[in-house]
Amino acid sequence: MILVTGGAGFIGANFVLDWLGQSDEAVLNVDKLTYAGNLGTLQSLQGNSKHVFARVDICDRAALDALFAEHKPRAVLHFAAESHVDRSIHGPADFVQTNVVGTFTLLEAARQYWNGLPETEKAAFRFLHVSTDEVFGSLSATDPQFSETTPYAPNSPYSATKAGSDHLVRAYHHTYGLPTLTTNCSNNYGPYHFPEKLIPMMITCALAGKPLPVYGDGLNVRDWLYVGDHCAAIREVLARGKPGETYNVGGWNEKTNLDVVHTLCDLLDELSPRQSGSYSEQITFVKDRPGHDRRYAIDARKLERELGWKPAETFETGLRKTVQWYLDNQDWVQNVMTGEYRNWLVKQYAA
């Protein structure tokens, strides 16, 4: 059995679904079920004996110890995190608690469990920490892409707390010998993405006839990674990654936010056209967010060179799959569009 934290969130749930779709190994899914955790995403696993769900906060050491003792996982895959930069600006305390204190608590529980394993199981155990490219800070248009040796320079409370969690994981390998692995990924997109992030928010607002809010001049650049490709990369790192190493996971798709929104509008014009005109007419520029990083870009050559992974989807194929999924799954979208989420959109984009 593997233990997955945050397995009801966007990337974690996609990983759990992919894992159980191609493996007979069971998953212990640990999630606190905050606003972004959604058991509806895992509805297809109801009655599946290979999926064991535990509603547990990763800051709860006693609960974690009990789970390790009962289920005896061979690996931990740590997805659980507060992840939205805008929310971290308005409420950084939750990010410190989950991303730093939660990771520390999970590391301590894993270390105690690992120390008690027989030698063969101890040698095979892995703690895989899923992180972000945002820990590296911001690039100019001419800077080289982030590599695994790029110095950390986080600029938001979110990225600072993720950087702190990365450092803790590294320290637990160096100091205690815990066999850790860290992945730093670029912007993910795909099915089951909570609709406060750029791509699902734009799809949802477009279909509702609402403005499509674009920060600043819309020229901030991100590298985009289809979530299914990310899950495949994580499986490779878990299976063959070297303990103590970090691996960058990217899609080789640098796009400005405005390019992403226009591409989405073009796809929606084709797949679900308005009565008249284009969805691009709904694009609205809003005040830029504080400290908005200009460019992220991932160099994923180490992962390809050492483990043979490279993305299967282009941005165009992955985005078409994503748009079609949202069009086909409007019930899922409406179920997560709670009052809290609507109030958040009003607060964030009122200007």
CA distances to 77, 166, 222, 311 from 240, rounded to whole Å, are: 14, 20, 28, 17
- Catalytic pick among 82, 86, 134, 229: 134
- Catalytic pick among 82, 133, 223, 254: 133
C-alpha span between 47 and 279 (Å, rounded): 41
Examine the residue annotation and report whether 306 is marked as an active-site residue of this protein: no
Place of tokens 């027989």: 118
In 3D, which of 193, 224, 248, 234 has the Cα closest to residue 318?
A: 224
C-alpha span between 32 and 302 (Å, rounded): 33
- Catalytic pick among 57, 86, 113, 158: 158
Examine the residue annotation and report whether 236 is marked as an active-site residue of this protein: no
Examine the residue annotation and report whether 113 is marked as an active-site residue of this protein: no
Measured in whole angstroms, the distance separating CA 340 from the mean position of its chain's CA atoms is 21
C-alpha span between 341 and 345 (Å, rounded): 6
Which residues touch 213 (CB under 8 Å, ≥6 apart)? Answer: 205, 284, 285, 286, 349
Active site residues: 133-134, 158
